[in-house]
A and B are shown apart, each in its own frame.
Chain A
Amino acid sequence: MMHIPTWRRALIWLVCLGGLLFALPNLFYDRVERSNDARAVIETGLSDAELQAEAGLWPEWLPSGLVNLGLDLRGGAHLLAEVQVEEVYAARMEAMWPEVRDALAAQRDKVGFVTREEGGDPSELRVRISEASEAATALEIVRGLATPVASLTGGGANDIDVRAEGPEIIVTLSEAERAATDDRTIRQALEIVRRRIDEVGTREPTIQRQGEDRILIEVPGVGSAEEVKEIIGTTAQLTFQPVVSRTSDANENPGPNNEILPSLDEQGVYYILERNPVVTGEELVDAQPAFDQNGRPAVNFRFNPTGARAFGDYTAENIGSPFAIVLDEEVISAPVIQSHIPGGSGIITGNFTVEESTQLAVLLRAGALPAGLEFLEERTIGPELGADSIEAGKLAAMVGALAVIVFMILTYGLFGVFATVALTINMILIFAVLSILGATLTLPGIAGIVLTMGMAVDANVLVYERIREELKTARGPARAIDLGYEKALSAILDGNVTTLITALILFLVGSGPVRGFAVTLGLGILTSVFTAIFVTRLLIVMWFERRRPKTIEV
């Protein structure tokens, strides 16, 4: 008959109590959040009285997990960026050219003169030799430059494909190398974006790889997506290039292997530079904002040993000639080399403000993005709009809950009260699990919770209706209650499994707010089945044991 073993009763109450404990911090959201923030700072080693006081806002022995508020509730920026991996192919081919030229030049008596065909697809390198009949030899030489792909999946494949078209030798990256390069590029870009956003120190940004070549960036609390884009920068590619000449004509022909770039702060001034840099920003180990001898803002930098050697050799050989510091295709400054700079450190001066020099140091320290980013999706949600949504959601949830409760009690009387208790526990459990998982609550997520409220009573309704039916035929109320639960179970399970399937698919396919909805809907289903099957039943049994009613009305 209606018997629930003591251990199971204890377990059910324990789950409910645990739920209450873990849901509790959300009632004091602001307080707990400040305390958590302070604790995070203290953990990094910093500590003062103010931080300690902030940390003490919430007792340490209580759970302090909170439901994350989604961007649509908290406000912030959401960006989806695509990494332009093709740029890396082009850069690789660019770097390949001197190597190919030198290798072929060594066999000049056979292959003749070597020239590069420019202006085609930047992801391939086209080289023309004057002795077309020796194309096979040239092909052999260039193929000799290939190295095995450095990746686990590459499995023995070479990094370049080389083919001949008449007198032209065409070099492209191989399929395997492209895959390996793509992966490396995205990882690197991800890491750099993360470091740059962390440097600015906003709260809990989400930076995730999405699909093949995309990065999802969500930063709560910033004013606009534009700000985030500025923090990430475009590429911050730092190079030191030899200066050929200075000009005011943007369309001047720079000559082979040279390029023409504008000056950052002087209008109408252009520099013609050698295309191959002496050193690049990749060799930087440190960059700090500083001031030059005249007290103007500047940036101090230091190279790694390889960079320091190259920089030292170059400055020793070129005393008296200018070289250019180039950031993102713009010449920041082009000082004349005064003396040999051996230690690998130096200073970048320009017309900076303190803010700009700080920003530049951050960008340099974080390293250059390996490739440009194209933003496919940008969303900015203001914090007031989010706050409005929370308020509206709260109000709607309360009114909805009240309506459901009144309806249930009017219909089922005492059993309606049981269902109400179960509904309350259900809500608490949803928040508890959301907090434990650190899941994100979004505006559709709130809708999911309100919807769950409506649907959560369904399992109870199924049981109650069944008990009502069984009361007509069964012997006594205890038997009817038992049968009601027993027979309603399959409908409850089948009905909820199918809903769970759709929640799962929503979770897998959806993103952002929609995913938040899937989470609350799915969780709501699980907790409502738990409360209906275990909690309400326990309540009914306890009531029944105490009162021993001869008849019941459901």
Chain B
Amino acid sequence: MRLRIVPDDTKIDFFRAAKITFGASVLAMVVSIIAALALGLNFGIDFQGGTTIRTESESAVDVGEYRNAIAPLGLGDVIITEVFDPSFGDDKNVASVRIQAQDGAESVSAETIAAVEAALQGVDPTVSFPSVESVGPKVSGELIQSAIFAVLGSLAAILFYIWLRFEWQFAVGAIAALVHDVTLTIGIFAAFQIKFDLAIIAALLTIVGYSINDTVVVFDRARENLRKYKTMPLRDLLNLSANETLSRTVMTSGTTLLALLALLVLGGDVIRGFVFAIFWGVIVGTYSSIYVAKNIVLMLGVKRDWDKKDDPKAGTQFANIDA
């Protein structure tokens, strides 16, 4: 009667299709990088500078008319997108107007914003402006820097911690999985041109945290099994560890995805991009801890004398005296 998503005692050979899964991962990463380079990321004002004005009106948004109203102001690139959310009623129509950073000014001047607001109110008198955000190019440049620093810093810190607690092969495997997750997430943001802002960096770090958690659980079991089965081939041993923890991996991903799904559907449009990034990252992260991290460990091999430390005489000049 209990719900069992994963049957007990699975004996899946995760390496059987290693070439295909690993190849697919590498391919997906390459595609992601190409997508990011070719299409570019749809940077939000956090990283590019500029102003976003959120509009809310009773009548439907006509993007074309909005554009025509703003065009005479000569503000350069203006991007207008309509925003949808299931919670909006018929009398709530939301759009986002983005104005590029203006030359010579740090943040867009009050007059510019007032002019845009007046122009839009000319199109639709019911329009109001629930939020106006403006970031100058100086700050956005620094935000990019600190974002890159945050992602690289957390990868380095994790690399160090795993190396400390496990062996370096595991650390490399874990980092490979993380790079895989981050790349694929950036890739999907480039492919669908979803707005990439500071919150997405937070999402990336969360993915890093989640994925490493997943990977560590498998590694922890592998470490235990390495002590327990001293002669089992590494490939079988990693498979065994993954199978033993599979139920947990699926359960945790399941509960997390359930909670995130609620947030994705009901949490409102303001954080949808952010939640989507984490949602996607959890899926990719789960996959990578099963199919990427272990493969790297298998490729690198692991030394099998984990017990040496437990024997106080090991490696000292007295090691063989009793023998």
Contact of B131 among A379, A400, A411, A447 (CB under 8 A): A379
Give CA–CA (A461, B260) in the complex, Å: 18
Q: Count A-B contacts at CB 8 Å.
A: 232
- Which residues of A have CB within 8 Å of B134? 225, 377-379
Give CA–CA (A468, B136) in the complex, Å: 56
Contact A451 B213 (CB under 8 A): no
- Which residues of B have CB within 8 Å of A379? 131-134
- Which residues of B have CB within 8 Å of A454? 252, 255-260
Given A380-B132, A454-B260, the answer on whether A226 and B110 have CB atoms closer than 8 Å is yes
Contact B262 A502 (CB under 8 A): no
CB of B23 closer than 8 Å to a CB of A? no
Contact B266 A395 (CB under 8 A): yes
Give CA–CA (A375, B132) in the complex, Å: 14
CB of A495 closer than 8 Å to a CB of B? yes
CB of B43 closer than 8 Å to a CB of A? no
The CB with the most chain A CB atoms within 10 A, among B3, B8, B54, B258, is that of B258
Contact A447 B263 (CB under 8 A): yes
Taking the nearest CB of chain A, how far is it from the CB of B202, in angstroms?
5
Number of interface residues of B (CB under 8 A): 76
Give CA–CA (A484, B184) in the complex, Å: 35
The CB with the most chain A CB atoms within 10 A, among B256, B265, B274, is that of B256
- Which residues of A have CB within 8 Å of B256? 451, 454-455, 458
Given A392-B268, A444-B271, the answer on whether A518 and B202 have CB atoms closer than 8 Å is yes
CB of A517 closer than 8 Å to a CB of B? yes
Contact B220 A494 (CB under 8 A): yes
Give CA–CA (A487, B227) in the complex, Å: 14
Contact A393 B268 (CB under 8 A): yes
Say what secondary structure dominates the interface of chain B: helix
CB of B235 closer than 8 Å to a CB of A? no
CB of A382 closer than 8 Å to a CB of B? yes
CB of A331 closer than 8 Å to a CB of B? no
Contact A465 B245 (CB under 8 A): yes
Say what secondary structure dominates the interface of chain A: helix
CB of A443 closer than 8 Å to a CB of B? yes
Give CA–CA (A225, B133) in the complex, Å: 9
CB of B2 closer than 8 Å to a CB of A? yes
Q: Which positions in B face A, CB cutoff 8 Å?
A: 2-5, 8, 54, 87, 106-107, 110, 113, 128-136, 138-139, 146-147, 149-150, 153-154, 157-158, 161-162, 165, 198-199, 201-202, 205-206, 208-210, 212-214, 216-217, 219-221, 224, 244-245, 247-248, 251-252, 254-263, 265-268, 270-271, 274-275, 278
Given contacts A393-B268, A521-B209, 12 further A-B contacts (CB under 8 A): A376-B106, A381-B130, A396-B263, A400-B260, A400-B263, A403-B262, A411-B251, A451-B263, A455-B252, A494-B219, A506-B202, A509-B146
